[in-house]
Chain A
């Protein structure tokens, strides 16, 4: 367990040293602030109190964070920790240390997911402040729950990206393929309503199933089992390829 913790700390440090994640988080926060300011200006110009009072910035921006921005960060993190390290051969620095490949693989996945979680929570903090300033701070606990729930399905996306990273040789192609496959799955969900319930990308906004009008427990369990199945398949495939990989 200690070697896993060392491995995970190392992966987190590697992600933290890269400035792009911080910059992306700041850009997303800046967009949230700009949107709030626009709403407040609109409120003043139109003098219609009801326009902005009901707007909860956190919930308004959550679909963008959960389905686009945070998945992109997750994919980037996975590509940095796998394909980039394969390309630069820096992965050998870990493989030659006293730690098993299973621990290396799971530590990388955990680090990428934790990065998604940190970004998601940081964005919640910013949008919650914006909501308070815009006068829509009443449903913040609900929004907090929604942000927490939406962090969970990012795991499946990270597992999928990790599997793709084992099949490609360059970080660019790994990144490109992961984004294309995610986008294709996401868009096909909009095209075919019947097929969308079978795609994990349709559950990136996981809170919709649990908060508000809750689905029957049987449906919820079916969807949990579906995501678990996706996760297990992606993990098994990715880990098997990682285990067999030669450097």
Chain B
């Protein structure tokens, strides 16, 4: 099994005391790992550290065996990310935004840009300024931008935010297809357990800045009816351990 993302003992602490401590996580090709945790539990912090938006206090991150700190360009060449809100230029059209991103990848051509716009249902709006887009449309364009280069690793921070029902189904199917057909590894965050249950192959529960549990969704659902119950049981177990 090819290791696409290796997070080794990552610690990041912000000035306000929040952050993550000693996170170790591996995502293999074709796996969809869901990061589950309450607001402020460090899901976005982990993703930002992987994407190089913030610097970890300690620990190492490797993408396809390449260290992200020392070889940023090579490590990010096979990564597509949508972290927090979509990073788009409102004064440019949807197509112009994708063209800016496409310039970094020699294999991405006009055909590919058209294809990703079609995949997320934005082809009719390709010439519209992004500033006039709704939240859902921006989110879809952000997803298109992340998938543009057909990366081996997708980092998606709450990708279903702002999407309508059809959009949610479309994105869910798209991620599943990429994982099955191309072996794309995905790291997805969310705080709606039911949604992650439908997409993910693995689940990582974050609690009190630490990784409380990491297992396959199949195993997680062996003794619990839903991922939400699994999450609650993990959190209670952690709190019980703390109380003792």
Contact = CB atoms under 8 A, between A and B. Distances in A.
Interface of A: 2-3, 6-7, 9-10, 13-14, 17-18, 88-93, 95-101, 244, 246-247
Chain B contact residues (Cβ within 8 angstroms of A): what range?
Answer: 20 to 34
Interface string B129-152: 000000000000000010000000
Contact of B104 (A6, A90, A247): A6
Contact of B85 (A6, A89, A95, A246): A89
Contact of A246 (B54, B99, B105): B54
Contacts of B52: 95-96
Interface string B120-132: 0000000000000
B168 interface: no
B7 to A, nearest CB: 17
Interface of B: 48, 51-55, 72-77, 79, 81, 83-85, 87-92, 96-97, 99-101, 103-106, 145
A17 B92 contact: yes
Nearest to A97: B104
Which of B73, B84, B103, B145 has most chain A Cβ within 10 Å? B103
A3 B81 CA distance: 18
B104 A99 contact: yes
B84 to A, nearest CB: 7
A89 B104 CA distance: 19
B90 A93 contact: no
- By secondary structure, the A interface counts as helix
A101 to B, nearest CB: 8
Given A7-B104, A17-B96, A89-B87, 19 more contacts: A3-B73, A3-B104, A7-B103, A9-B103, A14-B89, A14-B100, A89-B85, A90-B88, A93-B87, A96-B53, A96-B76, A98-B74, A98-B76, A98-B79, A99-B72, A100-B72, A101-B72, A246-B55, A247-B54
Given A17-B96, A246-B55, A247-B48, A93 B101 contact: yes
B51 A95 contact: yes
9 contacts: A13-B100, A17-B96, A90-B90, A92-B53, A95-B51, A99-B104, A100-B73, A101-B72, A246-B48
B78 to A, nearest CB: 8
A10 B85 contact: no
Given A93-B100, A97-B101, A246 B74 contact: no
A93 B88 contact: yes
A89 B89 CA distance: 9
Contact of B51 (A14, A17, A90, A96): A96
B100 A10 contact: yes
